[in-house]
Amino acid sequence: MTKAKVLLVEDDPIQAKETEDLLINTGYEVLLARDGINAIKLVKSMKPDIILLDLILPGLGGYEVCRWLKLDETAKAIPVIMLTVKKDLAEKISGLQIGADDYLPKPYNALELNARIYACLRTKAIQDELREKNRQLEELLDKVNFMAATDSLTGLFNRRKLQENLSIEFERAKRYKIPFSLVMLDIDYFKKINDDFGHGTGDSVLKEVADIILKSVREIDTAARFGGEEFIIILPNTDRKSAVIVADRMRESLAGHVFTGVTRKITASVGISGMPDAEIVNEDLLLRCADMALYRAKQNGRDRTETGTCAELVKDFP
């Protein structure tokens, strides 16, 4: 507390000298301003811990300075004790209403001034500690929320977050008749990759596939690991025809990529469903149709993209 930096704003040279000496003798570092404009400049440049602000100042008065301090994001947490020869209750109330933390009439007792400074600094220290704890708590909460929504291996959204975003997009598409597509991508013969090169290499392949997917989609899209070697991408405002272009770009990037620890080409099969589709009445059926399209891609030789309406895709299944 005694190492605190005090800004004294006082235009009376005699009063300023007396108060400055008192504060220095108590152990405070003192900054001195003779008017409101210089006080604001010192607040910006020197960042005092507390401000003793005279009410009557040349030019910009104490009320105006206090009002500016409490509206400024970088200064509003600095406690302000207003000093004045006026003892009228209305003056005191006015100062407190615009944000002053305390009010001390002149002439003031040295012990009382020190006590009020100490009290304000103690309150500020408690508030600063609470703010820091709140900041740490918010960071922790953000981390927990991120972990709850993210696949730990690939860094993509997990199945839970996918379902949440899919529900939102499905309802939006139903209400506003806006198209969107669901892309389901499956790495071809992934089990053989694990068997031939090991599960560590398999995990590396999954991470690299996730990176390729992320580079192929927009910020508004949702890319998620659906499970195992399956990935799903939600493409808002995208019809099935446009989604095929995106999917083929992904497949080509995968096929042309040299995967770490793998000595052969890796490909993927893709199925696409989307809205609008008269047969699709819920998200589960939308997923099912994408899965049927993916099954068609595998049946037709893999490393390809298949799509269609739900009615068309159902024909492949007895």
Domains and CATH numbers, the chain: 5-133 (3.40.50.2300), 159-314 (3.30.70.270)
pTM of the predicted protein model: 0.67
Mean pLDDT across 197-209 = 96
pLDDT in tens, 207-266: 999 999 999 999 999 999 999 999 999 999 999 999 999 999 999 999 999 999 999 999
Q: Reply yes or no on whether 129 is catalytic.
A: no
Short-list 260, 265, 231, CA closest to 247: 231
User: What is the C-alpha separation between 131 and 171, in angstroms, rounded?
Assistant: 39
User: What is the C-alpha separation between 40 and 178, in angstroms, rounded?
Assistant: 53
- Phi, psi for 247 (deg, rounded to 5): -65, -45
- Phi, psi for 256 (deg, rounded to 5): -90, -5
Over the Cα atoms of the chain, what is R_g? 33
| Inter-residue contact 2 to 28 (CB < 8 Å) | yes
Which residue in the block uniquely carries the two structure tokens 């042309």? 256
Which residue in the block uniquely carries the two structure tokens 């696409």? 272
Residue of 10, 229, 230, 252 marked active site: 229
pLDDT in tens, 105-148: 888 888 999 999 999 999 989 988 999 999 999 999 988 888 88
